[in-house]
Structure 1
Amino acid sequence: MIPRNLPADHICHYDLNKLASTPMAAYNKERVLILTPMAKFLDQYWDNLLKLTYPRELIELGFIVPRTADGDAALRKLETAVKKIQNPKNTKDAKFAKVTILRQDTEALESQSEKDRHAFKVQKQRRSQMAVARNSLLFTTIGPYTSWVLWLDGDIVETPPTLIQDLASHDKPVIAANCYQRYYDEEKKQDAIRPYDFNNWVESEEGLRIASTMSDDEIIVEAYAEMATYRPLMGHFYDPNGDSNTEMQLDGVGGTCLLVKADVHRDGAMFPSFPFYHLIETEGFAKMAKRLGYEVFGLPNYLVYHYNE
């Protein structure tokens, strides 16, 4: 438990050697920090967050919002939603343990439309800005009692309610869900799904070859025709009849839905805003975690869904 109402001159002692991140996270009452960079506030994201079955008294929330027009609107909606759920009249188990909202003190892309933010030409700038925002959010909110960090993008609008328990049960230092998107297939005239996050990948010989030809300040950006790496992408390994617990080892990860043992971050794995072995942001984080000796995994048959603009 976190001491509360302590006198100003009180000294708190934390033994991080006793802090655990186990497969039975909820049973062992392990604290989870859910971190979300939020350019827009989506009601579906918030509604899904409230459906998670992990005990809220063990969850802290952290958000970072850009200083843009969309960010200003998102902040107003987010504060309204937070005030409603954190109302003192609500019971302890109905409220989150803590909520932190930061404003981004660095630049962000003004346009947050899906087309503009995914344009190939802006990727290095955008991903560098995102890395700085993620690091600011992480370093500000992680505490000596945090066991797990769940990176959950503000565009994720549908997950299993048992998301945290499911991912933690694999007991992996870093583990990513497979992010898909629902859409209407005009040709088949029916609802369908398609892969969305292509940053969960396994390294390829071509990827290594491309990296070997690059100058130190160049990065590889995955899933763009302008730079074909032929890396196996987890998004393409989904089997609708497969076991949702199937694991695959990864070399790169995205940040749409990523569970990290807090010790991985404490050991120094962050989101490089600079080219790190020609990788940046979340993919650079995976590289950094692996350089520190941690294994990185993904769940190809465990789906979460991204908002479709």
Structure 2
Amino acid sequence: MGASRSLQRSSPMRLLIALLGLLLFLWWMIQPPSSSASLNINLPDASSATPTAAMHPPKKAPPITHVTMNNLTATANPLRNQERLLILTPLARFYDEYWQNLLKLDYPRHLIELGFITPKTHSGHLATAKLQEALRRVQNGSKKHRFAKVTILRQDFDTPVGQTERERHALKAQKERRASMARARNSLVFTTLNPGISWVLWLDSDIVETPPTLFQDLALHDKPVIVPNCFQRYKDNGVWKERPYDFNSWQDSETALNLGKTMKEDEILLEGYAEMPTYRALMAYQRDEKADKHTEMLLDGVGGTALLVKAEIHRDGAMFPTFPFYHLIETEGFAKMVRRLGHQPYGLPNYLVYHYNE
């Protein structure tokens, strides 16, 4: 009996059948699924799916653009050299006076690109709607009046303080407020700055009066960073007068430098507050009505109400610190960073632009 079972287990026929079964199993395992089987897989409805570039590659490959940055200039005569200007505005509220003043700038519009960033607030929503309506009228008009490009960004972060003038300028709100402003400025410039831009003009949304030749006048000085003096018109007993407004453009003082040495790493120096006397030389108070409006002065801090920057300075890495940078933040921190990069900011104490009077 033992010999018989041994012969059955070693039968060539049984071994052949087992081998064929193994081969059939292996063949079945390596076959791709049939089309009918694929229909049983739960896939999202194609009509509701969001297509992506990876899912739907373009039928025609986009062209490759070659840009020779060595040929890009930022000179004292931008019009002659057809240099492109990027005007950037953080826009919390829309003032028609700001918009009308912007339209009066006499640099050719085909050489101007615009960039805006608006906050996630009710006033930000209103500002965006009004801006879009104003842009439609211009961009749908005659071709010679259209701007080369317009970009509108919405902040993806909240505004930390209120937007009334009193709330914006309260001392206790400055660190958070200006860090948020710096973040908005950085988002705006690094999103919109393309390889063809020679100059960046930062123009606040509450600057309502400038000379039409603002850009050319500032560019004429051929400086890496330059800022005019920002004043404000107001009525006093029915008489129009004017006063300094922006105190962020200054020359440093020993008092301020020594004060910085005593501060904690995360504390900031602020200008224009009686609670923090720095005794800096403020450009706001250096105006001489009888002197040449193109008189220059060296600056250690700059304001951002109307700030002209050669685009190469931003490309070098100069940004608006959202953190205490040598105890400075936002535009004043920007000036410090510019100096650390080996460039010198300048100011024009006798050249005025005007801020909206709330």
Shorter-chain TM-score range: over 0.9
Aligned match of 1:252 in 290, 298, 301? 301
Aligned ranges 1:145-164 → 2 under 5 Å: 145-164=196-215
Could you tell me which amino acid in structure 2 is paired with residue 267 of structure 1? D
Aligned match of 1:42 in 90, 95, 113? 95
- What SS class does the counterpart of residue 73 from structure 2 fall into? coil
- 2:294 equivalent to 1:241: no
Paired with 2:268 and 2:157, the residues of 1 have a C-alpha distance of 21
- What SS class does the counterpart of residue 290 from structure 1 fall into? helix
> What residue number does 1:169 align with?
220
Could you tell me which amino acid in structure 2 is paired with residue 164 of structure 1? F
> What residue number does 2:67 align with?
14
Could you tell me which amino acid in structure 1 is paired with residue 220 of structure 2? S
- TM-score normalised per structure 1: 0.95
Aligned match of 1:128 in 179, 189, 209? 179
Which digits, 9 at most, give the CA deviation of each residue in 1:196-241, with x for residues without a partner?
0000000000000110001110100111011000000000011111
Q: Give every structure 1 segment of 4 or more consecutive aligned residues whose post-TM-superposition deviation is greater than 2 Å.
A: none
Task: Say whether the 8 Å CA contact 1:32–1:60 is kept in structure 2.
Answer: yes
- 2:280 equivalent to 1:231: yes
- What SS class does the counterpart of residue 12 from structure 1 fall into? coil
Task: Say whether the 8 Å CA contact 1:109–1:117 is kept in structure 2.
Answer: no
Aligned ranges 1:72-111 → 2 under 5 Å: 72-87=125-140, 90-111=141-162
Could you tell me which amino acid in structure 2 is paired with residue 46 of structure 1? W
> What residue number does 2:168 align with?
117
> What residue number does 1:198 align with?
247
Paired with 2:341 and 2:309, the residues of 1 have a C-alpha distance of 14
- What SS class does the counterpart of residue 181 from structure 2 fall into? helix
> What residue number does 1:140 align with?
191
Paired with 1:243 and 1:216, the residues of 2 have a C-alpha distance of 41
Paired with 2:161 and 2:324, the residues of 1 have a C-alpha distance of 23
Structure 1's unaligned 5+ residue stretches are 1-6
Aligned ranges 1:209-228 → 2 under 5 Å: 209-228=258-277
- What SS class does the counterpart of residue 183 from structure 1 fall into? strand
Task: Say whether the 8 Å CA contact 2:84–2:111 is kept in structure 1.
Answer: yes
Paired with 1:181 and 1:42, the residues of 2 have a C-alpha distance of 15
Task: Say whether the 8 Å CA contact 2:161–2:167 is kept in structure 1.
Answer: no
Displacement of 1:110: 5.0
Query: Of the two structures, which has the highest relative contact order with CA contacts closer than 8 Å and spacing of 6 or more?
Result: 1
Paired with 1:81 and 1:289, the residues of 2 have a C-alpha distance of 35
Counterparts in 2 of 1:110 and 1:223: CA distance versus 1, 3 Å: closer
> What residue number does 1:304 align with?
353
> What residue number does 1:3 align with?
none
Paired with 1:8 and 1:85, the residues of 2 have a C-alpha distance of 33
| Higher-helix-fraction structure | 2
Could you tell me which amino acid in structure 2 is paired with residue 29 of structure 1? Q
Aligned length, in residue pairs: 299
- 2:342 equivalent to 1:289: no
Paired with 1:29 and 1:205, the residues of 2 have a C-alpha distance of 43
- 2:310 equivalent to 1:261: yes
Aligned match of 2:116 in 63, 86, 108? 63
Structure index of larger Rg:
2
Paired with 1:91 and 1:124, the residues of 2 have a C-alpha distance of 44
- What SS class does the counterpart of residue 179 from structure 1 fall into? strand
Structure 2's unaligned 5+ residue stretches are 1-59
Displacement of 1:109: 3.6
Could you tell me which amino acid in structure 1 is paired with residue 211 of structure 2? P
Counterparts in 2 of 1:213 and 1:10: CA distance versus 1, 3 Å: same
- What SS class does the counterpart of residue 133 from structure 1 fall into? helix
